[in-house]
Amino acid sequence: MKKFLLTIVAAALMAPLWAATVPHRLVYGYFMTNKSTADYGLGRFYMDDPQNIEIIAPGDGAEGWFAGAVADGIYYACTYRYDITEGPVPSSFISYDLSTGERRVIGNWSEDSYNTYLKFQDMTYDYSTKTMYAVGFELGKNSLYSFDLATGQPTLVTPLSVTGFGSIACSYDGRLYGFNTNDASLYLINKTSGQCVKLVTLGDEYLFSYFEQSMEFDHTTGLIYLADRSSKLDSRKDFLYLVRIDVSQSPVAFEDVAQVGDDAALQALYIPYVLDGEAAPAAPSDLVVKSADGGVAAATLTWSVPTQTFGGDPLTDLQSIVVERDGEVVATLAASAQTYTDENVPTGQHRYVVYGVNTAGKGETAFRFAYIGRDWPDEPQNISVKVGEGCQSAIISWDEPVRGYHNGYFTTEGLTYSIRRYPDLMLVAEGLTERTFTDQSLRRLGAYSYEVIASNAFGQAGQYTPKTYVLGAPISLTEGDFVESFDNHTRFLNQWTEVDANGDYYSWVYNTMAPQYVLGNNDPGAVYFLNPGIYNAGIDADEWLLSPPLRLEAGKHYKVVLHLRSLLTEKLSVTFGKTNEVEEQQVLNDLTIAASIFQNGVALYSDYEIGLPQQDVETIGCVGLHLTTPYAGTDNYSMFHINTITVKEGQANAISDVRLGASDVRHTVFDLQGRRVAAPRAKGLYVVDGKKYIAK
């Protein structure tokens, strides 16, 4: 009889600790995809209602989050921008305040923003050491990193002994776990040595190949939740499951608890928690912290008392309300209290926390940041740059800050501005009181950007120009032809200006492998292409390439020679203007680029020549190429490839050369679009043996 009872007890210990029902627990995460909502982005849902998803911060169409986690109510995330040839490219390390919805850019999460190999798969916050950890994947290897939350810079902690981790989670007492997508197993990770010990294998149905998953602890219960989008089995393919894991059991227990959304992928998982359990009070609502007027060092807090427990039951035994400032208790108030004035507060940024206490313990916290006292200016807004004539100067203008950097008390008294230029880090102006400045100190040609810094006696904040601008000394054609062969990308970026005029995040790519598969080889060049695997919403091309400033001598003839090829007919305008800005360009010639002839599977090049206006005086100007080809229609398939752009002395002859490999094209007739014709059938200009003829 005793043996039978012991068997029952042992079986009970092996069973999952949770009840059959799913708790009414809020879950946050960044939805990379989800068909059941109009937008993607940062969203939330309840575990017991996983189809009712609310997107609280929609994405903008080009940005996504690689990884993210919450520390003390603030999301931190590594964002990326999507490039049509390189895929996700590192962008900003950001913070997002869940209490206010305020987002701030902290810094770059990659010291080399062109290192597209390093991907952070997931992040988690270790409350025991106040450390934000991330798992990184680079060139087939996993490593553990830590993040500086003030600068956004990652630091390598240790390589991991096992590769394939798509998600990590840290318990409140500092134990780090990782889910490996290669073998669908949960591991315990040593944060110092990187050694990984397998705890349990979930099975093939949990295998996932895209790293679009996340894992986090519910610190209220000590259970792990894994957002897993399986791709291994058809029965689970493209479904997002919330998987619950109990590492306190032996063997580790796990089960699916919810299917989330429709064709959803979820990253940056976060589950609000209360350490004293579900019976503790829920958070006070409607918390507001108002700094005293006139910069006085005091703050008034207001809130609504909680009426439910953290678990969602009616709250019947609220005992007190506690107010903390920067982690220290400043007031313990009656349960009915709904306001508190904090006086003699040190000037600066403070974090206020308000929570209820009952017999179960400390409840869920509500928090707000507030700056007390006189604040320094917010970042200057609406910075704009006008390129000066000949690209020899830059006129920078901006709007005055209208608030304090921390939303504290702020006036414009004593407000001044400084301007720093990048990449040479030159402080080109300081102590300005006007909101415009002309930088005329540019000596060498290059791509420059600016930071405008607003300052007062209490501090300063800067804002960068939205892009770089090619400025500086012009290239003289007296020293020879100017040729852009696209063989040096650094030089290209420091000389040419690209404009995606239709704003569809879809423009030129450079030295891509794409021509190999469509045009027969992958010669260097600027390429604009469409194919069924790249989506640009069917928008007509509106893409610019603008040359660096070129010095043209008075009285001389100059021409632009384009060495190019195309799969289909394209529309290209050649322009000229006094700067490399679109609005300064004037059309010289509207070209219809004919589809290229193929020989032995390779598309052949044609040369198009366009004359520049003869100048009466020495002139500095920029050549522009404006592609305006209508969308390719239902086929969604085209490719236009510019191999070289040359500006040289001489008069233009429309098409000077049609390259047909080794074929003998003597006495062959071509029209001005480079198409071979049997004989002129209409009035117009034709080319034979490099000379123009008129058919009447």
Contacts of 282 (CB under 8 A, 6+ apart): 306, 307, 308, 309, 310, 312, 315, 356, 363, 364
Q: Return contacts of 285-292, CB within 8 angstroms, 24+ apart.
A: 285/366, 287/99, 287/352, 287/354, 287/366, 287/367, 287/368, 288/368, 289/352, 289/368, 289/369, 289/370, 290/370, 291/370, 291/371, 291/372, 291/373, 291/407, 291/408, 291/409, 292/372, 292/409
Range 372-387 average pLDDT: 94
pLDDT band at 686 (very low <50, low <70, confident <90, very high): low
Exposure of 14 by Cβ count < 10 A (0-12 exposed, 13-18 middle, 19+ buried)? exposed
With a cut of 70, say whether residue 311 has pLDDT above it.
yes
Number of Cβ atoms within 10 Å of the Cβ of 129:
12
CA 322/CA 314 separation, integer angstroms = 20
Higher-scoring residue by pLDDT: 672, 19: 672
Q: Of 7-11, 326-330, 431-435, 679-683, which gets the smallest average pLDDT?
A: 7-11
Beta bridge partners of 693: 686
Residue type, 160: L
Q: Is the distance from CB of 469 to CB of 447 less than 8 angstroms?
A: yes
With a cut of 70, say whether residue 18 has pLDDT above it.
no
pLDDT digits (tens, 9 = 90+) for 264-298: 889 999 999 999 999 999 999 999 999 898 889 99
CA 672/CA 686 separation, integer angstroms = 6
**What H or E segment, with its residue span, contains residue 282?**
none
CA 230/CA 208 separation, integer angstroms = 5
Is the dihedral angle over the CA atoms 422, 427, 429, 435 positive or is it negative? positive
CA nearest neighbour of 78 among 63, 68, 87, 88: 68
DSSP conformational letter for 345:
P
pLDDT digits (tens, 9 = 90+) for 539-555: 899 999 999 999 999 99
DSSP conformational letter for 228:
E
- pLDDT, residue 503, reads 87
Which SS3 state, helix, strand or coil, does residue 421 take? strand
Number of Cβ atoms within 10 Å of the Cβ of 664:
7
Give the CA distances from residue 342 to residues 292, 301, 351, 363, 562, in Å, rounded to whole numbers and listed in that order: 10, 8, 12, 21, 71
Sheet holding 41-46, edge to edge: 49-58, 41-46, 26-33, 265-270
pLDDT band at 10 (very low <50, low <70, confident <90, very high): very low
Estimate to the nearest angstrom the gap between the alpha carbon of 316 and the chain centroid. 46
Q: Is the distance from CB of 172 to CB of 217 less than 8 angstroms?
A: yes
pLDDT digits (tens, 9 = 90+) for 592-614: 999 999 999 999 999 999 999 99
CA nearest neighbour of 576 among 552, 599, 555, 553: 552
Residue type, 533: G
Range 345-361 average pLDDT: 95
CA nearest neighbour of 122 among 134, 139, 131, 138: 134
Q: Of 287-296, 440-449, 563-572, which gets the smallest average pLDDT?
A: 287-296
**Buried b / exposed e across 236-254, counting CB within 10 Å, b at 16+?**
beebbbbbbbbbeeeebbb
- pLDDT, residue 233, reads 55
pLDDT digits (tens, 9 = 90+) for 496-506: 999 999 988 78
User: What are 323's two structure tokens?
Assistant: 């107010």
CA nearest neighbour of 147 among 110, 172, 200: 110
- pLDDT, residue 16, reads 40
Contacts of 326 (CB under 8 A, 6+ apart): 350, 351
CA 547/CA 550 separation, integer angstroms = 8
Range 340-349 average pLDDT: 93
Please give the mean pLDDT across all residues of the chain.
88
Range 124-145 average pLDDT: 94
Q: Is the distance from CB of 318 to CB of 280 less than 8 angstroms?
A: no
Contacts of 8 (CB under 8 A, 6+ apart): none
CA 80/CA 60 separation, integer angstroms = 12
Q: Is the distance from CB of 350 to CB of 267 less than 8 angstroms?
A: no
Q: Is the distance from CB of 315 to CB of 303 less than 8 angstroms?
A: no
**DSSP codes, 636-675:** --EEEEEEEEEEEES---S--EE--TT---TT-EEETTS-
Beta bridge partners of 215: 226
Give the CA distances from residue 163 to residues 43, 125, 260, 267, 677, in Å, rounded to whole numbers and listed in that order: 30, 21, 27, 19, 61
Give the CA distances from residue 156 to residues 88, 128, 299, 466, 690, in Å, rounded to whole numbers and listed in that order: 21, 19, 41, 31, 62
- pLDDT, residue 427, reads 97
User: What are 634's two structure tokens?
Assistant: 């239902």
pLDDT band at 688 (very low <50, low <70, confident <90, very high): low
- pLDDT, residue 115, reads 63
CA 639/CA 529 separation, integer angstroms = 4
pLDDT digits (tens, 9 = 90+) for 159-190: 999 998 989 999 999 999 999 988 889 999 99
pLDDT digits (tens, 9 = 90+) for 217-265: 999 999 999 998 876 555 666 788 899 999 999 999 999 888 898 888 8
